[in-house]
Amino acid sequence: MTPEELLARVLYRDALTIVLDKPAGLAVHAGPRGGKNLEQLFDHLRFDQSRSPALAHRLDRDTSGCLVLGRHRKALQRLGKLFSQGKVDKTYWTVVIGKPPALQGRIDRPILKITPKSGWRMVTDPKGQPAVTEYRVMGQGDGLSWLEVKLHTGRTHQIRVHMEALGCPVLGDPIYGGGIAARPGLFQNLHARRVVFQLQPKYQPIDVTAPVPDHMRPALLACGWQGEAQQDQVRS
């Protein structure tokens, strides 16, 4: 990604925060093995600040959409509290294979990290950490379902693990769903569609929506999405 492409992905900016439209396929930070990541480019997002912004939370490598950054230490501290206290309203869109058992529901299943020889992964397990996900079916078609998802906890791979437990793995997910969800050349269909948070009580909440990425458009259209001109059916 070039600096110009990064700047074009800035969805919101003020003195304290930046919200980026993260692309799928790029890690937000360097993992144990290193490699290209979004943090390497943050120096281009200084604008009028003397220091680069920093991550206020994380998104998986193959998840796209709203990524919140703090522009200085105090802002990061405030954002950290909001995220840890569950005061950031995050809405995801995902396309899954199959149909959920109900048009809307709540998945309350603890999630545990396991480390088999094949590599670590997350599973639902009573011994794990509490994890609660709410979903609502927005449309269906071609054997797929378009869901709006809200998280009440922030566990690693939570949506992907809970969708697998529901019997409807995320389209394009290479890990969860027993391989039936993976499609060659397709990123997983999981998008951080909208984020809402109030960093300063005296001001209106920050409310940002990320456009649908190109790799999700075919599946969403098959499920009845009418394009960005269609008014979002996101819950308030």
Closest alpha carbon to 180 in 171, 188, 189: 171
Spatial contact of 168 and 145, defined as CB atoms under 8 Å apart: yes
Which segment of 52-56, 138-142, 170-174, 176-180 scores lowest on mean pLDDT?
176-180
pTM across the whole model: 0.91
- Average pLDDT of the segment spanning 10-15: 96
Which segment of 21-30, 68-77, 207-216, 227-236 scores lowest on mean pLDDT?
227-236
pLDDT tens-place string over residues 195-219: 999 998 888 999 999 999 999 999 9
Superfamily of 3-222 according to CATH = Pseudouridine synthase (3.30.2350.10)
Domain locations in the chain? 3-222
What was the pLDDT predicted at 230? 58
- Average pLDDT of the segment spanning 221-230: 87
Closest alpha carbon to 87 in 64, 46, 56: 56
Task: Give the whole-angstrom CA distance, residue 171 versus residue 159.
Answer: 12
What was the pLDDT predicted at 177? 75
Q: Is 21 a catalytic residue?
A: no
14, 21, 48, 60: the active-site residue: 60
With H, G, I as helix, E, B as strand and everything else as coil, classify residue 170. strand
Given CA atoms 54, 58, 61, 62 in this order, what sign does their dihedral have? negative
Name residue, tokens 């709006």.
Answer: 148
